[in-house]
A and B are shown apart, each in its own frame.
Chain A
Amino acid sequence: MLRFVARRLALLVLMLGGLIVITFVVSNIAPADPAALAAGPDATRDMIETVRHEYGLDQPLPMQFLRYVSDLLHGNLGRAIQTGDSVSDDLARYFPATLELVLLSTAFAVIVGVGFGILAAVRRNRLFDHAARIFAVSGVALPAFWAALLLQLVFGVYLGWLPTSGQLSVATAPPDPITGMVIVDALLRGQLGVAGEAFRYAILPAFVLALPSIAAILRVNRAEMIEVLNADYVTAARAHGVGTRRVIGWLALKNAMLPTLAMIGLRLGWTLGSTFLVETVFDWPGIGLYAVSSALASDFKPVMGVTLIIGITFMLSNLLIDLAYGWLDPRTRTA
């Protein structure tokens, strides 16, 4: 196991290096002159040249790359035009909200996906199963932003059950930040009312973000469960008098683990990409919304910063999933 962990960590360093190269290349494909952009619209020729020299943009590309890497290692991601702050400060401010949303949506995906998958397998070919299968197929085809608008319409406007934008109502003072995640902070500060309200605000965006993952997890769990229920050892267990509930509960949880983990890993990239859309629709103050508003304002540095952070988050969580997988199923350690 230790060797497996060491190898995965070495691979991670390699991947991070690759990510840095990719973002550097992408920053350099912009057709516009970066020095002219940085100097502003009214800059004279001299000013642009000064900026070019100051930023090292007159240096050859390999030198620029070294400078880029050293800036990254110092946590210097440049300055955002819109907020006027440094990109790394902005990221630190907006990232917890995104993390909270992604974690909550993963929790939804696992609970609903596993639960409904098992239920569908147990009630095979009954109405619930048919509904679950239709959802499993169509869930991944749902445009997140459209599903978000429809759910806002139904649950926010017609039924009036759930709020549709932001993290908290304007009247509520957010808890003093500890982790930056509003629900967690409110719980840590003992403000249960605020935590409840924040949770209500998070339900719709987290659910929309979870939809495709719910569909995918439901699908594998249903298939897995059907296979297990027909296996010889289950028949044997039943013959020995083990009750249905226990068979399902015990086997289901045990067997649901691996495919669910694998599915989370597979869907995570798509989930992280979809936060841009979901945060835009729900005015959720995370890095997705930050990146989109910056991109629309042709402010490039924040977008690059967000891409880096999302890339790193994705790699780290894949590492965690791989390690968990290796721990649960020793056969995968060699892969």
Chain B
Amino acid sequence: MSDIALDRVAVPLRRDATLRRLRFVVWTFSGSVSAVIGLMLVAAFLLLAAIGPWIVPYPADATGAMHLAQKLQPPSAAHWFGTDEMGDDILTRVVLGTRTSLWVGALITGIAAAIGVPLGIVAGYLGKLPRAIIMRVTDVFLAVPGLALALAIVAALGAGVLHGVLALAAVWWPGYVRLIEAKALTLRSEPYVEASRTMGAGHAWVLWHHILPNCASPLVVKASMDMGLAILAVASLGFIGLGAKPPAPEWGAMISVARSYMPDWWWYSFFPGLFIFLTVLGFNLLGDGLRDILDPGSARG
């Protein structure tokens, strides 16, 4: 009975509040320079990933076409970012690499959250033995440098983008457990949560209506930050030679090849790196701005 009553009252109120909150978000966004820049960068890269194949000047160059007559040309009107050792247009390859990077970033973050969030909720909300077990395992994983462990996993599985994604997701989930566990732990003893429990709400109802919505904003902030860091990590594996294999247009792998063409053909490694930098920067700024907006209490510096 209480379920129905609560829902009826909550819906109109919530809709009104949502509208007001949306207006507030727009207002706060416009006040935070870094959030706006971050949002613009992320939007630009999402757009590039979406329409990349239709706007690049030489679509065939992505799959390793050869034009040896025009190899290693400096940036020019025909090739804005220059050409690589195969004569392929670097702009084309870098733009098409956006899709790969965003995909793997989203995959890693998604898998990590899908593992970490349920575990964190179980640990924080149930407490006791489940919490002790989950948090001990999490602590052990957190006590190993992620990139080092990921490298070991990729070395065991064999090089490749998919293996890189699996390896990084395998070292990335503990952060989510930590975050959600702490949040769920404090929420559990909030008066309104205890009140709804007293009024007969089941665990599932409380989780869905109180715990999850309140975990949403720190989750969004962390996911945004992690998108950037995951993209950076995948590019790092690609650079080492354990990620994507050329001629696949992946930024890290491109720089890995381009390294041997330094310093004379600097543009070859400069532009893929610039794209990595701007993407990661965009997600970081967005996450930072989102934190100020969604969680004003933590705003500092």
Q: What is the interface of chain A, defined by CB distance below 8 A to chain B?
A: 14-15, 18-19, 21-23, 26-27, 29-32, 137-138, 140-146, 149-150, 152-153, 156-157, 219-220, 222-223, 226, 268-270, 272-274, 276-277, 280-281, 291-292, 294-296, 298, 300, 303-304, 306-307, 310-311, 314-315, 318
Contact = CB atoms under 8 A, between A and B. Distances in A.
A310 B148 contact: yes
Contacts, number: 160
Interface stretch (B60-68, B113-121, B195-203, B265-273): B265-273
Contacts of B39: none
Given A26-B152, A304-B152, A15 B140 contact: yes
Nearest to B232: A143
A71 to B, nearest CB: 17
Given A18-B137, A26-B156, A137 B281 contact: yes
Contact of B236 (A144, A157, A220): A144
B151 A145 contact: no
B233 to A, nearest CB: 8
A303 B236 CA distance: 16
Interface of B: 34, 136-137, 139-141, 143-149, 151-158, 228, 232, 235-236, 239-242, 252, 255, 259, 262-263, 266, 269-270, 273, 276-277, 280-281, 284-285, 288, 300-301
Given A14-B136, A143-B280, A223-B301, 4 more contacts: A19-B144, A32-B158, A272-B148, A307-B149
Contact of B240 (A152, A222, A295): A295
Given A146-B269, A296-B241, A141 B149 contact: no
B145 A273 contact: yes
A220 B151 contact: no
B259 A149 contact: yes
Q: Identify whether the interface residues of B are mostly helix, strand, loop, or mixed.
A: helix
A15 B281 CA distance: 34
A16 B216 CA distance: 34
A226 B301 CA distance: 8
A145 B152 CA distance: 19
A143 B157 contact: no
B244 to A, nearest CB: 14
A318 B263 CA distance: 39
Q: Identify whether the interface residues of A are mostly helix, strand, loop, or mixed.
A: helix
A27 B277 contact: no
A152 B263 contact: yes
A300 B159 CA distance: 12
Contact of B151 (A23, A32, A138, A303): A303
B143 A18 contact: yes
Interface centre among B146, B239, B241 (most CB of A within 10 A): B239
A303 B152 contact: yes
Given A26-B156, A29-B157, A152-B262, A15 B143 contact: yes
4 closest A-B pairs by beta carbon, nearest first, are A273-B147, A223-B301, A18-B140, A146-B273
A273 B146 contact: yes
Given A15-B140, A22-B144, A311-B143, A137 B155 contact: no
Contacts of A27: 156
Contacts of A274: 147, 236
Interface centre among A21, A149, A272 (most CB of B within 10 A): A149
Contacts of A152: 262-263
Nearest to A311: B144
Given A29-B157, A143-B277, A296-B241, A15 B139 contact: yes
A150 to B, nearest CB: 7
A281 B239 CA distance: 10
Nearest to A154: B263
Contacts of B276: 143, 146
A314 B149 CA distance: 12
